[in-house]
Amino acid sequence: MGCGVKGTKDMNEQLNRIIEGALFAAAEPLTIDRMLSLFAEDEKPDRKVMREALQQLMGDYAGRGIELKELASGYQFQVTADLAKWIKRLWQERP
C-alpha cells in the first residue's frame, strides 16, 4: 500500500488519517470493502492492514467522548453512551 508516502510508519499514519477522515465524512457506517474502494489498485492496503488500522483507531479513541464502533453495517464514530444525557439535549426542542 502506497498511500502517497514513504516508509511503513508513515504509511500506517497516513492510512489511519484516511480512514479517520472517511469515517467522519461519511453519513453512514463504512464497511472495510467501502473503505478499500477509496484507494487506487496500486496503493490499496490488504484487509489485514486495514483491520489493524481500525483496531489502532479504536484504541486511540478509547476513553474519549467519541469511540469507533464496529456495527453490523460497518464502522462508525459515535458519542460514548455515558455522555448521552448531555448530547441528546442538542435535539431537544426549547419552549
pLDDT in the model for residue 20: 97
pTM over 0.75: yes
C-alpha neighbours within 13 Å on the C-beta side of residue 47: 4
Give the DSSP per-residue string, 1-55: --TT--SHHHHHHHHHHHHHHHHHH-SS-B-HHHHHTTS-GGGPPPHHHHHHHHH
Q: What are 19-47's pLDDT values in tens digits?
A: 999 999 999 999 999 999 999 999 999 99
Which amino acid is it at 64?
R
| 44 compared with 8, residue with greater pLDDT | 44
Residue the block writes with cell 502506497: 2
All 3 cell numbers of residue 75?
464502522
Q: What are 55-79's pLDDT values in tens digits?
A: 999 999 999 999 999 999 999 999 9
